């Protein structure tokens, strides 16, 4: 199973590289497959933004991930 994680685009650098925020982690990812702006949410899979999300979808999905991880720690 493959999992894509929602992240907010914080910065867009030269060469289609973006800095994204997963909530507690920032990382550089490739933006070659999507057309995004700073502040928008994307789904990231293996270092590539593969789909743009609405802010609502991004925040909702991020919250679901937090709940799943919290349940796994119990």
pLDDT tens per residue across span 16-54: 999 999 988 999 999 999 999 999 999 999 999 999 999
Q: Domains along the chain?
A: 5-73 (2.30.30.140)
**pLDDT value of position 64:** 92
pLDDT tens per residue across span 61-73: 989 988 998 999 8
Main-chain dihedrals φ then ψ at residue 19, nearest 5 degrees: -100, 125
Q: Is the pLDDT of residue 1 over 80?
A: no
Report residue 59 CA to chain centroid gap.
10
Distances in Å between the Cα of 3 and the Cα atoms of 13, 14, 16, 65 are 25, 27, 22, 11
**pLDDT value of position 31:** 98
What's the predicted TM-score (pTM) here?
Answer: 0.88
- Tell the burial category of 44 from Cβ atoms under 10 Å away from its Cβ (0-12, 13-18, 19+): buried
């Amino acid at each position: 199973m493959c999992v894509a994680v929602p992240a907010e685009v914080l910065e867009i650098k030269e060469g289609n590289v973006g800095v994204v925020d997963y909530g507690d982690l920032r990382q550089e990812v490739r933006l070659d497959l999507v057309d995004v702006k700073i502040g928008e949410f994307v789904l990231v899979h293996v270092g590539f933004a593969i789909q743009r999300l609405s802010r609502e979808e991004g925040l909702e999905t991020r919250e679901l991930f937090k709940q799943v991880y919290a349940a796994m720690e119990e």
